[in-house]
Structure 1
Amino acid sequence: MRPGVAAARGSTGAAGEERALTSVAAGERYEEPAELPRLWHVTLSVSGEEAPLGEVRRALEQLAHDHPFLLTSRYAVDHAEIRYWEEARDLHDAAAVALRLWGEHRRTSRLPPWEIVGLEVIDRETYHQRIAEGYGPRPASPVGVHPF
């Protein structure tokens, strides 16, 4: 048998069947995967027909309760904006999660039947660079659900 390879007999296969198990040979080093998750700042904008302001607030509070990763939500009778940090491998993954958020939680949080009208996904470095230069979104303070 070659170095770094062991045989396991009769594990889940047929009787007498051998299965090769690979292990790291002595002296080899473990390397981190090339693409580790990164943080992405997401701003999701939704709008639609008017809904009672109290119901919009309650729905956004429920969404924030169910998903505490939400930083802040701003709302009016016909639109809302949700901002949060998403951990994802790349922008495509972060955007895909963001685009599903409203629809997947519409029923459980009783969100208005609004459509997504805007999405911005930027990496952490870009977010902090914008803040430092004074033209990015203000930091989410106070955190929570607030009217526009």
Structure 2
Amino acid sequence: MRSIYVINGPNLNRLGLREPDVYGHDTLADLENFIENVGKQHQCEVLCFQSNEEGQMIDWIHEAGDKGAGIIINPGAYTHYSYAIRDAIASVSVPIIEVHISNVHARESFRHHSVTAAVTKGQIVGLGFKGYELALLALLEGEDL
């Protein structure tokens, strides 16, 4: 069975509470249940992780790379300035898709630039939880990702 790591960064543990007009009322547990169920429908093991700590996220990226698991990552605010996470992504040979629940390009200007996107296979923004599903399907279907 294929494995996919879903790595969520800082403040995503606050889904449902944090800016519900931007992120909605569903929680991180709702997101994890949703994407795990999508994985089951496609005979895929989905392993969900969330941390507010940069180093922990880097460790999970390395672990996924060592295990040959694809990665869906929402680096949260680290998207815009974490060269350490960018370098961790670049250091593994598994396909990685960056996802953001909100449309970061329609928000504050500092959110418009991602230092991590350039080392991923693609970026999905603004589609809510559906973006995670699309990323999962792309990883499962994309032989050349």
TM-score range, shorter chain: under 0.3
> Which protein is richer in helix relative to its size?
2
Q: Which has the bigger relative contact order, CA under 8 A and spacing at least 6?
A: 1
TM-score scaled to structure 1, two decimals?
0.27
TM-score scaled to structure 2, two decimals?
0.27
> Which protein is richer in strand relative to its size?
1
